[in-house]
Amino acid sequence: MTASPRSIEILQVAARAADSKGGDDLVALDVSNPLPLADIFLLATGRSERNVVAIASEVEDKLNEAGVKTLRREGKAEGRWILLDFGDLVVHVFHEEDRMYYALERLWKDCPVVPLELPVHEAAE
């Protein structure tokens, strides 16, 4: 089983939203085979608690604007690891230290990576 076209479509909206708020190291994993409750995990890293909250808020706002309802939200008060559940897409926004500690990529290493379509950023001089 692979992620549905709709899941990939909303993934791209979420990834662009995370990127627009400075989300680093964005990785999308197709978890549809081992996990029947979701198609894709999007992982993003923020540099501070404030940045993690800003990234998660932007992702949630953009997906809600696109008609995708937030089913569950966890961790927003702490700003260390925020989980946003949109059904077929689950977004994990981590603080750098928590991303390394929990290492979800290692846990889900057998899942294929879903390509992201992100804008190209100019290098700072």
Which pair of tokens denotes residue 96? 């750098």
Query: Is 121 a domain residue?
Result: no
Residue-range definition of the domain harbouring residue 19: 5-107
CA distance linking residue 53 with residue 47, whole number of Å: 10
| 11-57 per-position pLDDT tens digit | 999 999 999 999 999 999 999 988 888 999 999 999 999 999 999 99
Whole-number average pLDDT of the chain: 93
CATH number, domain with residue 48: 3.30.460.10
User: What is the number of other CB atoms lying within 10 angstroms of the CB of residue 30?
Assistant: 22
- Given pLDDT bands bounded at 50, 70 and 90, which one contains residue 111? very high
Which residues lie closer than 8 Å to 121 by C-beta, 6 or more apart? none
**Residue found by looking up tokens 């076209």 in the block:** 5
Query: Is 114 a domain residue?
Result: no
Which pair of tokens denotes residue 51? 């940045």
Query: Is 54 a domain residue?
Result: yes
Query: Is 62 a domain residue?
Result: yes
More confident residue, 124 or 88: 88
Query: Is 117 a domain residue?
Result: no
Considering its fold, how many domains does the chain have in total?
Answer: 1
Q: Which helix (H) or strand (E) holds 15?
A: helix 5-20
Query: Is 31 a domain residue?
Result: yes
Q: Which helix (H) or strand (E) holds 115?
A: none
